Amino acid sequence: MPDKQYKFIISGGGTGGHIYPAVAIANEIKRLHPSAEILFVGAQGRMEMTRVPEAGYKIIGLWISGLQRRLTVDNLSFPLKVISSVRKAYQIIKDFQPDAVVGVGGYASGPLLYAATRMGIPSLIQEQNSHAGITNKLLAKKVDKVCVAYDGMYKYFPSAKLVLTGNPVRRDIANLDGKRLEAMDFFGLNPARKTFLVIGGSLGARTLNQSTEAALQKIQESGFNLIWQTGKNFYPQAQTATQPYLEDQIKAFDFIRRMDLAYAAADVVISRAGALSISELCLAEKPSILVPSPNVAEDHQTKNAMALVQKDAAMLVKDVDAGRKLWGSAFALAADTEKQQLLRRNIAQLARPQATEDIVQELMKLIK
């Protein structure tokens, strides 16, 4: 019997923390239903307009952005953007005729999910963080199902709609066995050395970047490799900073497309504490030092990090202390194999490898 040709719209973006869960959901739908047709809807000018086509999916952009906290020209045009985006969302849905829609947070998911729910299309939102985003909070009363990654989310969403699934993570990160030598070859690193991986999120992290730049000399002298994801803005400075060092030892990248290989290469990871990063670290089972960003709503990255720290599953260095403490802690952890094993064992217990499958299962229930 041929597979029914389902049609889905997935909407949201703005950062990798929204985009990669969206792509993971799309990939799982295609794995289960190869003939399914999937359309993404994002915000014009945001990173999803590049990253989603790179993942092999079509995307349409809406003219939408967030409200700024100060009076700007963008704020004055915000009502016009909302009206324009909702109208375009209605037209997209009318033309595409989806069986269901998924919102992952970010500006574009608001107009698209609003239009879809008004048109009676089955709808699901996926919230990655322990503190719900404003778009998802606004949509929760209208959608059919809310998939979350943390306990206690009834503070933000109707409990009858909640399903605790975990965060969708790319399948390749769930299976790193046997990839280390491939990873070393991919990054051009000496496989005889232990490796630090520094990831500041898809947009980079100034504190992590500045602390790492200051530690480059010691990293080389101590005989470690470094894979350093800087984000786009800091990358030119990082390129200049890494030039004096050995090419097979210290590598800076604005963006890493093969995160499975980055994790496979890493012995110790230094990371922001975004929800997606934490979900990936749990699956990859990596000893980690988390440096929560202070520039997020309700300090939710610290809450994300503490969920691990309290279970001896990760270490924490505050952003304000990173310049003084981060690399001292990193070198100490790299030298302490017992501590690494403890962190690895405990973080593995927090992984939810079936999260993406569970979310797609909830989505299919809405259709059937």
Can you say which residues are annotated as belonging to the binding site? 15-17, 129, 170, 202, 256, 301
Q: Are 115 and 104 in contact (CB under 8 A)?
A: no
Beta-strand ranges (E) seen in 167-300 are 195-199, 225-229, 250-253, 268-271, 288-290
Cα–Cα–Cα angle for 58, 23, 150, rounded to 5 degrees: 145
Cα–Cα–Cα angle for 38, 17, 330, rounded to 5 degrees: 145
DSSP-assigned letters across all residues of 332-346: HHHH-HHHHHHHHHH
> From CA 198, how far away is CA 212, in angstroms rounded?
8
CA-based end-to-end distance of the chain:
17
> From CA 99, how far away is CA 49, in angstroms rounded?
23
> From CA 203, how far away is CA 125, in angstroms rounded?
23
Q: Are 114 and 139 in contact (CB under 8 A)?
A: yes
297: number of Cβ within 10 Å: 11
> From CA 79, how far away is CA 76, in angstroms rounded?
7
Angle, helices 337-348 vs 275-284, to 10°: value is 110
> From CA 349, how far away is CA 360, in angstroms rounded?
23
Question: Two tokens at 361?
Answer: 């299962």
Over its C-alpha atoms, the chain yields an Rg (Å, rounded) of 21
> From CA 267, how far away is CA 103, in angstroms rounded?
35
**Residue stretches of the annotated binding site for UDP-N-acetyl-alpha-D-glucosamine:** 15-17, 129, 170, 202, 256, 301
> From CA 178, how far away is CA 181, in angstroms rounded?
7
